[in-house]
Amino acid sequence: MRVIFIVLMLCSAFLSSSVAESRPLSLMPMPASVQMKTGQLVIDPAFTVGISGPSEARLRRSAELFLDNLRRQTGMTALDMKVADAAHARLVVRSQGSSKDVQELGEDESYSLDISSAGATLDAATPLGVMRGLQTFLQLVQTTSEGFAAPALAIQDKSRFPWRGLMIDVSRHFIPLEVLKRNLDGMAAVKLNVFHWHLSDNQGFRLESKKFTKLQELGSDGVYYTQAEVRDLIAYARDRGIRVVPEFDMPGHSTAWFVGYPELASGSGPYQIERKWGVFDPAMDPTEERTYKFLDGFIGEMAKLFPDRYFHIGGDEVNGKEWDANATIQAFMRAHGLKSNQDLQAYFNTRVQKIVSKHGKIMVGWDEILRPDLPKDIVVQSWRGQDSLAGAAKQGYRGLLSFGYYVDLNWPASRHYTVDPMSGAAANLSPEEKQRILGGEACMWSEYVSPENIDSRIWPRTGAIAERLWSAQDVTDVNSMYQRLQVISRWLDWFGLTHNSSYGPMLRRIAGSDDISALRTFTDVVEPVKDYTREEIAAVEATSSSPLNRVIDAARPESATARRFAELIDVLIAGRADSAAKQEVRAWLTRWRDNQSTLQGLETQSFLLKEIVPVSQDLSAVAASGLQALDYIDRGERAPDAWAQQQFALLQEAEKPKAQLLLMVAAPVQRIVEASSGLKASSPPK
């Protein structure tokens, strides 16, 4: 079935011209179908929500949460904005069915929302659909000339994929419960429905076990979640229509387990909590029965704590060195005809899968777990790509895509946005095989995040991934995505996310001063290096003790200023720039050229500014280069070859990472220089 789809942001006005005061809608993810109507529904302090048909506690809490959000968003604190009798409510909510005891994969999340000036109705098959529709409603509420209002319209909406997740690694840096909670609010806001909790890794075991207390006592530096906190978080997630899938990574990524329980390991120990990043040797011993006895006890305990049907055992990146070095293990492999470490891990997985299954759960693991001898009900999470995912589907396994959705790699939203689980080899699967591709997960690995900056690594870019997983496959307009993402980013402020609000305080700390205008001008046009370059070019190897207070930690993964500037340059080079656009380009370049002279004084008061001096000098030089190129263009004069070559050399230098930062305006300036000289630089602008 083909869904009707309207690119809302691209329409400069509504279909109905009578709601002149309304602005383009900024919905994310984009609904399956939107039909605009005439008029708007006023949202004032007398606004009420009513539940019609079957009610239940979760549905009532959804309505209360909706009102809390609406109060925050509008600043209307009135307690008479409340859940009221459906017969008189301004917004009437109906769910045909009731909630499952434990939220299930594939529950119907569709809804239809009808808004007129007289009132609104939200219909759904389940309370989940109601939750999704309520978030859409919140996104529709605008400040208008007549008051807060939602435009009259009819929306039919449903999810493309049933598994839309966000993974947060709380091992490498511990992330406190309240930070997770605000991120769950953010997830709900963009209709994500699975929180994948990466609870253990080499750098920390972050959960209380009552059965094996040394896991947290010796493996966590004292920072872990109690079981009461876990239950609290699960309830919090459930009220937002989010499943919680725990991950305990094994047999590798497990050093933290061995601090308290060295007998589980394949090496001789003793083990310490790992302080560095990377892949490490320690791995569980798959040949000892005591390993499975322990895991049976542990998984049994965890299966009771986490109600979700799915249980993630990790399974990634075992380098096998401890196995190679252990004679008993080698003998075991020979005795059992296990020819490789992959075979040994497959043996381990088969044993663990039985334990997971015995405790009523379905096993999930990363790519590496996939071996044909595992039962078909497991789920494979692919960090390797769509081809790997398609391969699994062909073999009858269900899968999730995370390749392309690693938000810690500092990619632009547009790059995540173009990654589709159904592309590549997956596009050629049969309809039945396609059904096995459940969706995907954004992944937040935490080498370089703290409670202070984690939100800025997740948001707003995860909104683009959420749209990819919820909206129809043909919702691919990048410009529309960016326009809406910008609005949604600010809207997420109401949910307590700090991706916007933490920027100023971080810059003030770096500057050692209240006056951050020059530092902000600078930081607005740089980005952290991408992928794993931060490790690769580090002067000193980072550890879990490394402060996360540098410009790279404050800089946004994607510079909106540089993107805007690059757009202006495109327009300018195409000869379509009006005088305002030309003026804006010159204003930016002038500001950047002069910025270093302002910033210059400051590094004497802050050690955190020293490393950016060369980048700031580059910015100044690049901007000067751009201004000169503009002068040539404006004079209708062709820039001399020698001058252009000099600029290309300068720009090439400026594009190299320094202080682990990328100067994002060098590439567009290179395009101006090219346009002014008619020459091409030897390396094309990025």
In the complex, least distance from residue 551 CB atom to a copy of itself, rounded to whole angstroms:
11
- Which of 276, 359, 371, 508 is the binder for a copy of itself (CB under 8 A)? 508
Per-residue binding letters, 600-639, with a copy of itself (x by CB under 8 A): ---xxxxxx-x-----------------------------
Tell me whether residue 11 or residue 46 sits nearer to a copy of itself (CB atom).
46
Q: How far is CA 457 from CA 91, 182, 482, 484, 561, in A?
A: 35, 14, 16, 18, 17
- Count residues contacting a copy of itself (CB under 8 A)? 58
Binding segment toward a copy of itself, per CB under 8 A, in 128-136, 259-267, 353-361, 486-494: 486-494
Q: Which CB, 102 or 223, lies closer to a copy of itself?
A: 223
Verify binding: residue 243, a copy of itself, rule CB under 8 A.
Answer: no
Closer to a copy of itself by CB, 222 or 270: give it.
Answer: 222
Tell me if the bond preceding 431 is cis, omega within 30° of 0: no
- The answer to the question of residue 538 lying near a copy of itself (CB under 8 A) is no
Which residues ranging from 7 to 36 are in contact with a copy of itself (CB under 8 A)? 21, 23
Interface residue with a copy of itself among 33, 38, 144, 423 (CB under 8 A) is: 144
Binding mask 145-184 for a copy of itself (x = CB under 8 A): xxx-------------------------xx----------
What the block records as the tokens of 337 is 């005809």
Could you tell me where the beta strands, DSSP code E, fall in 310-461?
310-312, 362-366, 379-382, 398-401, 437-444
With CB under 8 A as the contact rule, which of the stretches 163-171, 256-264, 399-407, 547-555 interacts with a copy of itself? 547-555
For 238, other C-beta atoms within 10 Å of its C-beta total 18
Which tokens sit at 1? 């079935």
Q: Which stretch binds a copy of itself (CB under 8 A): 308-316, 318-326, 496-504, 671-679?
A: 496-504
Show contacts with a copy of itself in window 63-102 (CB under 8 A).
72-80
Q: What angle do CA 631, 636, 639 make, to 5 degrees?
A: 60
Instruction: Write out the binding residues for a copy of itself, residues 396-455 only, by CB under 8 A.
Output: 450-452
What is the contact mask toward a copy of itself in residues 548 to 587, using x (rule: CB under 8 A)? xx---x----------------------------------
Letters for 102-141 (x = contact with a copy of itself by CB under 8 A, - = none) are ----------------------------------------
Instruction: Confirm if 484 and 464 have CB atoms less than 8 A apart.
Output: no
CB neighbourhood size of 143 (10 A): 11
Q: Is 498 left (phi over 0), alpha (psi -120 to 50) or beta?
A: alpha
104: which 2 tokens?
A: 């299930």
- Contact at 8 Å (CB) between 415 and 456? no
Asked if residue 509 binds a copy of itself (CB under 8 A), the reply is yes
Among the listed residues 372, 431, 547, 575, the single contact to a copy of itself using CB under 8 A: 547
Q: Going along 81-240, which residue ranges are E strands? A: 82-84, 91-95, 111-116, 119-124, 142-144, 147-157, 163-169, 194-201, 204-205
How many angstroms separate the most distant Cα atoms in the chain? 82
Q: Rule CB under 8 A: choose which of 505, 601, 678, 684 binds a copy of itself.
A: 505
Strand partners, 399: 380, 437
Does residue 487 bind a copy of itself (CB under 8 A)? yes
Q: Which stretch binds a copy of itself (CB under 8 A): 55-63, 422-430, 484-492, 660-668?
A: 484-492
Which amino acid is residue 321, in one-letter code?
K
Distance separating alpha carbons of residues 85 and 48, to the nearest angstrom:
9
**What are the backbone dihedrals phi and psi of residue 460, each rounded to the nearest 5 degrees, phi first?**
-90, 0
For residue 133, the number of C-alpha atoms closer than 13 Å in the C-beta half-sphere is: 33
Q: How far is the CB of 666 from a copy of itself (least distance, A)?
A: 27
SS3 344: helix
3-state secondary structure 7-64: CCCCCCCCCCCCCCCCCCCCCCCCCCEEEEEEEEEEECCCCEEEEECCCCHHHHHHHH
The CA angle 306-310-313, to the nearest 5 degrees, is 90
Considering the rule CB under 8 A, would residue 143 count as an interface residue with a copy of itself? yes
Catalytic residues: 317
By C-beta, is 23 or 563 nearer to a copy of itself? Answer: 23
Q: Among residues 142, 386, 660, 677, which is the contact residue for a copy of itself, using CB under 8 A? A: 142
- Alpha helix positions (H), 539-578: 551-554, 560-573
φ/ψ of residue 103, rounded to 5 = -60, 135
Of residues 512 and 614, the one with the C-beta less far from a copy of itself: 512
Cα 229 from Cα 316, distance rounded (Å):
27
- Contact segment (CB under 8 A) with a copy of itself among 92-100, 144-152, 409-417, 611-619 equals 144-152
Give contact residues for a copy of itself (rule: CB under 8 A).
Answer: 21, 23, 45-46, 72-80, 142-147, 173-174, 221-223, 450-452, 486-487, 490, 493-494, 500-501, 504-506, 508-514, 544-549, 553, 603-608, 610
